[in-house]
């Protein structure tokens, strides 16, 4: 079994074996939580110039809530709506694999350099999306990557429908586009 840092590096390298390992390791939930927290803090540091220190706290809370909600949605979509015959998963497996798929987000700390911020966040976002598809595929025991992509797309739409009204309500008359991004 690999240690926490090795798991984070392996998850960032999109190593399927690491995702299988954390899926099976019921004791890795705390590590997955740690990855989400570190990735969120890296994003907060990367946006300090725009959101200030309060953005760190806000970003952390949103990241933790989003992680749990995202895991729940992908669990339901993947096991109830789009299961393969061998699909067998539980919430713990989803939380662990999805948590580790946040590993590439640590590079967002480089966003503190103003000239790099947009590129770093774009690269991190794409990298994390690919990691998410792998995490979902492994947690749901899929043989089809495209099915995992479908689960992620459907889950993203559902989560957007849930979060958009909340963002609008929290942002006031200016709209959600003016809120700092974690």
Place of tokens 């995202």: 70
Q: Compute the distance between CA of residue 135 and CA of residue 22 in angstroms, rounded to an integer.
A: 10
pLDDT tens digits in sequence order for the chain, 182 residues long = 579 999 999 999 999 999 999 999 999 999 999 999 999 999 888 888 766 677 778 778 888 988 999 999 999 999 999 999 999 999 999 999 999 999 999 999 999 998 999 999 999 999 999 999 999 999 999 999 999 999 999 999 998 898 888 777 776 665 555 444 44
Q: Compute the distance between CA of residue 102 and CA of residue 96 in angstroms, rounded to an integer.
A: 10
| 143 secondary structure, DSSP code | S
Residue 88 main-chain phi, psi, to 5 deg = -150, 115
Which pLDDT score, from 0 to 100, does residue 179 have? Answer: 46
**Prediction pTM value:** 0.87
In Å, how far are 136, 139, 166 from 7, measured between CA atoms?
17, 16, 34
| 82 secondary structure, DSSP code | S
Cα torsion 30, 33, 39, 45: sign:
negative
């Amino acid at each position: 079994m690999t240690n926490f840092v090795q798991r984070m590096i392996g998850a960032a390298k999109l190593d399927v074996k690491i995702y299988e390992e954390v899926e099976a390791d019921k004791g890795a939930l705390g590590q997955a939580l740690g990855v989400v927290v570190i990735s969120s803090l890296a994003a907060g540091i990367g946006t300090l110039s725009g959101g200030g220190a309060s953005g760190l706290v806000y970003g952390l809370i949103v990241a933790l809530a989003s992680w749990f909600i995202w895991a729940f949605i992908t669990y339901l979509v993947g096991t109830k709506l789009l299961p393969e015959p061998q699909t067998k998963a539980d919430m713990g497996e989803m939380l662990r694999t999805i948590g580790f798929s946040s590993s590439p987000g640590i590079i967002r700390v480089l966003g503190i350099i103003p000239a790099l911020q947009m590129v770093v966040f774009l690269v991190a976002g794409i990298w994390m999306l690919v990691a998410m598809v792998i995490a979902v595929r492994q947690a749901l025991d899929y043989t089809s990557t495209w099915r995992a992509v479908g689960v992620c797309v459907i889950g993203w739409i559902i989560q957007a429908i849930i979060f958009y009204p909340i963002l609008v309500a929290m942002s006031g008359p200016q709209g959600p586009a003016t809120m700092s991004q974690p």
